[in-house]
Homo-oligomer: A and B are copies of this chain.
Amino acid sequence: MTGLLTVVGLGPGDERWLTPAAAHAVAEATDLVGYGPYLDRTPERPGQRRHASDNRVEVDRARLALEIAAAGGRVTVVSGGDPGVFAMAAAVFEALEGGDPAWRSLDIRVEPGVTAMLAAAAQVGAPLGGDFCALSLSDNLKPWEVIEARLRAALAADFVIALYNPISRARPWQLGRALDIAGALRAPATPVILARAVGRADERVRIVTLGTADPGAADMATLVMIGASTTRLIERPGGGNPFVYTPRSYGAGP
Contacts and interface: CB of A to CB of B under 8 A. Distances in A.
Nearest to A244: B93
A122 B111 contact: yes
Nearest to A143: B250
28 contacts: A14-B21, A16-B19, A17-B19, A58-B248, A82-B118, A84-B118, A84-B122, A84-B127, A84-B128, A89-B245, A90-B130, A93-B129, A93-B243, A93-B245, A93-B247, A96-B243, A109-B122, A113-B114, A114-B114, A131-B150, A133-B134, A133-B154, A133-B159, A143-B250, A146-B158, A146-B251, A150-B159, A153-B154
A112 interface: yes
Contacts of A136: 131
Interface in A100-117: 104-105, 108-115
A47 interface: no
Contacts of A119: 112
Interface string A204-243: 0000000000000000000000000000101111100001
Main SS at interface, chain A: mixed
A119 B132 CA distance: 17
A91 B83 CA distance: 29
A178 interface: no
Contacts of A130: 90, 142
Interface of A: 11, 14-21, 24, 58, 82-86, 89-98, 104-105, 108-115, 118-119, 121-123, 125-136, 141-143, 146, 149-150, 152-154, 156-159, 232, 234-238, 243, 245-251, 254
Contacts of A95: 254
A111 B149 CA distance: 33
Given A118-B115, A248-B141, A129 B90 contact: yes
